[in-house]
Amino acid sequence: IMLAQLARQQSNKCLKFAVVNGLALWSSGASRKTIEMMAAARLCISYTAISAMVNSLAAHCVRLAALVALGPHMLGYDNINISLSTFIEQRGLLDTPYKVQSGTFGLIYELRGDDPATPINPAHLDASGLIKRFMMAPSLDYKHDVQLTAAQTSILKADLQATIIEALFRLFPDMFADELKNNDQLKRPVVLEYPHGLKTAFYATRASTIEEATRAGNSKYLDELYRLEFGMTPSQLRREVFQVALALFHLVLNLIWAVHVKHQATVATTGSLSWFYALLEKSRLANPHPDYHSLLMALRQTLDALLIDSWRKILARNGYSSVTAFAKSNPTAEIMKELADQLHNSFASTVP
């Protein structure tokens, strides 16, 4: 307790509070004048000292990332757009700053083994055995290789039940008791449970002004990161150990674009996505490649609308006049699952 109290005293021998408070002010966007005023009151260090501290921390983070990158790791990166001014852009002289600076920011993730608490064995990343078996693998058989097993079908059924029930709880949050909403029987099944409290270690790298929107941009960014920042040599970056993979975001992006194209139809077609877009007043979604976030939200709203309409029909079949009347009947978890099964069997595609 005494050490904690001393750490908060105004002293040039102990700057724990002043440094942390100064970094907090800088990261929250406080102006230089505000920071200097706080420094004069001995509540933080000076703006110059904070700038030096930020540069030191950034260099330390890059060193940590470079050390992790020498072993089994994964790199995730995406584009960033940083606003540099709130004023209208004036592009006169060549040294005039842009209103928005685009670039790329990457994170290095430390890979773990079968037991997430231990590092991964580098030998497990050797793809030669997988490639050899792939070349010798026979053709796929639907019954043995593709069709879901009884256990997998049960897990999928429980997950679909949770999706159907969660929509009702989410859109009518005040009607159902918390005890029912938190019932373990209505939660999604856990297939491979991750150890509680364990987080994947990640390390930040410096933001780059290279844009990763093109193939050339991807190559330039990876070259800058590994060769210039991490100081690696070409022999350390051979293709045997450096593999590029598709980001999950782009996988989902192409999936919802495929759903959009397949079911868009026209406004005159009742129940089509274009018909729902018109109801939601989202006319821009008619473009060939609409904005990801706008399209994803529209698809979620469309699914919610279909689920709620289906819920009302199922409840009417079972003698409930409305969702309110159903909620007042204090349904059990078993009843919720039974009605969710009825909804799925009546209005959704069946599981093969």
The 10s digit of each residue's pLDDT in 248-305 is 888 888 899 999 988 888 888 888 898 999 888 887 887 777 888 899 999 999 999 9
Mean pLDDT of the chain: 86
The radius of gyration computed from the CA coordinates of the chain, to the nearest angstrom, equals 28
Q: Virtual CA dihedral for 15, 16, 17, 21, nearest 10 degrees?
A: 90
Residue 137 to residue 86: CA distance in whole angstroms: 59
> What are the structural domain ranges in the chain?
1-45, 58-122+200-245, 153-192+247-347
CA distance 4 to 257: 55
Closest CA to 311 of 121, 196, 163: 163
147-162 pLDDT per residue, tens: 989 999 999 999 999 9
- Confidence (pLDDT) at 319: 94
Q: Give per-10-residue mean pLDDT for the chain (352 aa).
A: 58 75 92 92 90 93 92 88 68 64 92 75 78 86 88 91 94 91 91 79 93 89 92 78 74 90 88 89 82 91 92 95 94 94 84 50
**Predicted pLDDT of residue 66:** 93
pLDDT of amino acid 72: 84
